[in-house]
Every structure is written in C-alpha cells, then in structure tokens.
C-alpha cells in the first residue's frame, strides 16, 4: 500500500511539473538598433511594443525582451548576444541589425560575418531566428547597396533562418512617415513595420 502511494505521489509530481513547463511563457529576444529601440518615439509606440500587444491579443503566451540599443552595429550585437542568451534562453531571437554598419560605410563582409555568428549562437542555444533586413539609400552606390541587401539573403540561406527582406517596405518611399532626420520612422509608420515582420515571426512563435 505504501509503495503504491509513493508511486502515485511521484506520478502526480511529474504531471504537475510537466503542466508547469507546458504553461511557461515563451521568451522572444529582440536585438536591434534605434529602429527597434523607439528612438524619438513615445514609449510603447514602436513595432516591438506593438508586437507584444499583438501577441496578447492573439492569446499567445510570450514575453518580449527588447534588448535593442540606438546606434548598435552588428559587431556590438555579436558582442552582447552571448550574455543575453545566457540570461533569457529565448525560444525566438529577432535580429534587426546592419543599418548602422551600412550608414557608416563599414565593410559588408564584416557585417555579414557578424550576423552569421549571431544566428549560429542563437541556434546553438536552441532558439529559432528571424533576420530582419534593411536596404541602403541609392546614394551609397549600386555595388554597395546590392551587396548590403544581399548579405541578409546569404545569411538566411546559409543558416536556414527565416528572413524579412526589408523591414521598411511601404515606409521607406514615403518621406512624410519619417522624423525630421529622415532616418527614423514616426510612430504612425510602426504598424506597417510590424505588418512586414509579423507573418514570419508568427510562424516561428506559433511553432514553438
């Protein structure tokens, strides 16, 4: 009788543990630059905050950690990522970096290597990865702009990661949607940015 009770208690504990693990919220880590850090915007109006609201509206149990920093480069993201992965162990990592590398005219090969390393690190931590791509203005020259936009496709292909080719699709060609610096979108543009990102992101978070 005592042995049976012990087996029942152990079984009950396992069921409780499994239920707890199943109900634990998923963690989404966003590593980006000012485009994700709400530069010049009221708190809660950027696309990352809008994504968190949409997750709640769709009853997807997930918490979003926005580790974006204005001015961040792919090199900075690569340096910071190991500690972020160790701290949060996210199920999904969204990497939105590269714009500052491009604006500074930094070598595309170096940025591509940094992005690839970040994807590999995240996947080693058992996270799914979404790359969010950018494009450079045409005044940077055709050769540079093509290499720049191409690096996201290359990293995505090499690492078998999901890709949003251009986060500012439907925004970049509308000057009225930008702040005075003509670099950072207004809050009114961020729902469009989220719409560009959401389909690929939703496929990853819902598959967890």
Kindly list the catalytic residues.
34, 181, 184
Those residues with Cβ within 8 angstroms of residue 56's Cβ, 6 or more apart along the chain or in another chain: none
What is the Cα–Cα distance from 114 to 117, expressed in whole angstroms? 5
175 and 182 in contact (C-beta within 8 Å)?
Answer: yes
State residue 194 phi and psi, 5-degree precision.
-60, -40
What is the Cα–Cα distance from 156 to 200, expressed in whole angstroms? 13
Between helix 108-124 and helix 142-159 the angle, nearest 10°, is 20
Per the listing, tokens 């940025």 go with 111
116 and 81 in contact (C-beta within 8 Å)?
Answer: no
């Amino acid at each position: 009788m005592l042995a049976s009770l012990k087996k029942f208690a152990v079984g009950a504990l396992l069921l409780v543990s499994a239920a707890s693990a199943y109900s634990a919220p998923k963690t989404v880590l966003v590593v980006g630059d000012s485009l994700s850090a709400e530069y010049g915007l009221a708190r809660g109006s950027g696309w990352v905050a809008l994504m968190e609201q949409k997750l709640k509206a769709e009853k997807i149990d997930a918490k979003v950690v926005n580790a974006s920093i204005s001015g961040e480069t792919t090199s900075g993201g690569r340096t910071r990522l190991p500690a972020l992965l160790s701290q949060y162990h996210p199920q999904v990592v969204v990497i939105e970096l590269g714009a500052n590398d491009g604006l500074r005219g930094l070598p595309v090969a170096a940025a591509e290597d940094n992005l690839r390393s970040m994807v590999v690190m995240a996947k080693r931590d058992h996270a799914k990865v979404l790359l969010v791509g950018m494009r450079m203005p045409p005044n940077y020259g055709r050769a540079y702009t093509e290499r720049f936009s191409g690096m996201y496709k290359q990293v995505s292909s090499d690492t078998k990661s999901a890709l949003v080719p251009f986060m500012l699709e439907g925004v970049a060609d509308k000057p009225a949607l930008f702040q005075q610096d003509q670099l950072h979108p207004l809050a009114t543009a961020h729902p469009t940015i989220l719409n560009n990102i959401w389909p690929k992101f939703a496929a990853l978070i819902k598959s967890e």
